Amino acid sequence: MFADRARIIIRSGKGGDGCVSFRRELYVANGGPDGGDGGKGGDIVFQIDEGLNTLTDYRYKRKYAAQNGEPGRKRRCHGANGRDLVLKVPPGTVVLEAQSGRVIADLSGENKRQVILRGGRGGNGNMHYATSTMQVPKYAQAGEACRELEVRLELKMIADVGLVGFPNVGKSTFLSRVSHARPKVANYPFTTLNPFLGVVDYKDIDGFVIADIPGLIEGASQGAGLGHEFLKHIERTRTIIHLVDVASVEGRDPVEDVYKINEELKLYNSDVASRPQIIAANKIDALAPEDDEAIQRLRREFEPKGILVYAISAVSGQGVEELLWAVKKMLASIPKESIVFEQEFFPEEEIVIENLPYTVVRTEDDPPEYIVEGPKIEKMLGYTNLDSEKGFAFFQKFLKDGGILDDLEKAGIQEGDTVHMYGHAFEYYK
């Protein structure tokens, strides 16, 4: 089964916690702190694998996690870093933030490898916090938390030319004639349920890639049929071949078909609709030799607008060479720049680590004292060196911005009262 989209949850590794340890050796009195640092958590990395052409591997497994960093150890031993998790995808894969649909990474062109989520930083061991006034620091820095994100993967084919048109107009037959691609061909609508790529190799014409986009219908831009799944594959194309059934085998008017499909392209993406296109009036083998009125109608309608019309037969090959030369000439006039989707979502800036809880308790002493505890406080104390003026000012700002000072005032704290936080005692002043 061809899979061109998937939805997965990725999580980077947590940083290892710093170690609280003190040197203990025979004949060494009051050994100093020797707690080592925690290891860095593993990154989530997306990387192109040229041997892949679908996202099938991501259809049946939902969650992917990098390895956590190991905690620091005594004797100044550093914890091992967590292993990165490398997720391999085919060229042309776009990674999107699942909820907003904003682009995180476009794995195409020169961008063959990108770190999507960075692992958490390892925490410092208590050996970093010894000072002249604090010689036995009994705290270490906690490892930075992991980051988790739900993403959508979409494969947008990389081709020079997009082949569009209503179902059963001969797109698969045309592609099989001009390239070595062999899509399934049959005489009923919606034969092609998967997009196909073909490298043109026809007589003396070669060197460009055509994507056969399965038959579109009215309402495709709003998702009718399999509209969105098909339309995204022409977003990178530089030009479009618009196939129509000039013999009206199924009773449709070829001029109306062109307008309807162009309208769907415009509704889906106006930039795609504005790209140069050529009309291929197919199935002339089903017309009587003197019956060219439908072809002339197409030319009168579209050639004044700068859209050339070529009469062809994908079955017999009549007119195909002239069409391909025209396409090659058109491509030569269009700058060969890779269409790359710019990054819109930056996980490092936009993923907010969840707020951890804390409690404020007032004792029955006279005067009362206040105890503030919880993982939120414990983690911040681990990150902050309170013996430095800068570190203490940072901790005060954290208490204010986090609403902790407001909660203390609600509990009735007065100037001069004592606040206890994990072995630290502070006097409260406004």
Give pLDDT tens digits for 131-153.
766 777 777 878 888 888 999 99
Q: What is the DSSP letter of 187?
A: S
Q: Is the pLDDT of residue 331 over 60?
A: yes
Among the listed residues 16, 8, 1, the one whose alpha carbon sits nearest the alpha carbon of residue 87:
8
| Beta-sheet strands, E only, within 231-307 | 239-245, 277-282
Q: pLDDT band at residue 416, thresholds of 50, 70 and 90?
A: confident
> Can you tell me the mean pLDDT for 287-299?
85
For residue 335, cis peptide bond before it (omega within 30 degrees of 0) = no
> Can you tell me the mean pLDDT for 62-81?
92
What is the percentage of the chain residues whose pLDDT exceeds 90? 19
Higher pLDDT, 228 or 173: 173
Give CA torsion, residues 297, 299, 302, 305, to 10 deg: -140
Q: Is the pLDDT of residue 387 over 80?
A: no
Return the domain boundaries, the chain.
1-156+339-354, 161-332, 356-427
Find all residues with CB under 8 Å of 364, minimum gap 6, and list them: none
> What is 161-332's CATH number?
3.40.50.300
Question: Looking at domain 356-427, does it have CATH number 3.40.605.10?
Answer: no
What is the CATH architecture assignment of 1-156+339-354?
Distorted Sandwich (2.70)
**Could you give the angle at which helices 375-383 and 389-401 cross, rounded to 10 degrees?**
160
Q: Is the pLDDT of residue 73 over 60?
A: yes
Q: Is the pLDDT of residue 204 over 80?
A: no
Q: SS3 for 179?
A: strand
> Can you tell me the mean pLDDT for 158-171?
82
Q: Is the pLDDT of residue 209 over 60?
A: yes
Are residues 107 and 93 in contact, defined by beta-carbon separation less than 8 angstroms?
yes
DSSP structure string for 374-405: SHHHHHHHHH--TTSHHHHHHHHHHHHHTTHH
Provide the residue type at 8 as one letter.
I
Q: pLDDT band at residue 175, thresholds of 50, 70 and 90?
A: confident
Q: pLDDT band at residue 353, thresholds of 50, 70 and 90?
A: very low
Find all residues with CB under 8 Å of 303, minimum gap 6, and list them: 309
| Token duo for residue 62 | 């939902």
Q: At 345, give phi and psi (nearest 5°).
A: -120, 125
Q: pLDDT band at residue 95, thresholds of 50, 70 and 90?
A: very high
Mean pLDDT of the chain: 81
Same fold, 161-332 and 356-427: no
pLDDT of residue 266: 83
Higher pLDDT, 425 or 133: 425
> Can you tell me the mean pLDDT for 288-295?
82
How many C-beta atoms surround the C-beta of residue 163 within 10 A? 27
Highest mean pLDDT of the ranges 3-12, 166-175, 230-239, 296-305 = 296-305
Report the C-alpha gap between 427 and 415 in whole angstroms. 8
| Token duo for residue 371 | 């105890």
Find all residues with CB under 8 Å of 1, minimum gap 6, and list them: 56
pLDDT of residue 269: 78
> Can you tell me the mean pLDDT for 264-272?
80
pLDDT tens, position by position, 356-376: 678 888 888 778 888 888 877
Q: pLDDT band at residue 190, thresholds of 50, 70 and 90?
A: very low
Find all residues with CB under 8 Å of 224, minimum gap 6, and list them: 217, 218
Report the C-alpha gap between 376 and 14 in whole angstroms. 16
Q: pLDDT band at residue 227, thresholds of 50, 70 and 90?
A: very low
Report the C-alpha gap between 146 and 42 in whole angstroms. 9
* Residue appearing with tokens 């349920």: 193
> Can you tell me the mean pLDDT for 196-214?
75
pLDDT tens, position by position, 20-64: 888 887 776 677 888 899 999 999 999 999 888 778 888 888 999
pLDDT of residue 194: 59
Find all residues with CB under 8 Å of 251, minimum gap 6, and list them: none
What global pTM score does this model have?
A: 0.62
Are residues 172 and 263 in contact, defined by beta-carbon separation less than 8 angstroms?
no
What is the percentage of the chain residues whose pLDDT exceeds 70? 83
Q: Is the pLDDT of residue 199 over 80?
A: no
Q: pLDDT band at residue 120, thresholds of 50, 70 and 90?
A: confident
Q: pLDDT band at residue 67, thresholds of 50, 70 and 90?
A: very high
Highest mean pLDDT of the ranges 290-294, 343-347, 403-407 = 403-407
> Can you tell me the mean pLDDT for 251-270?
85
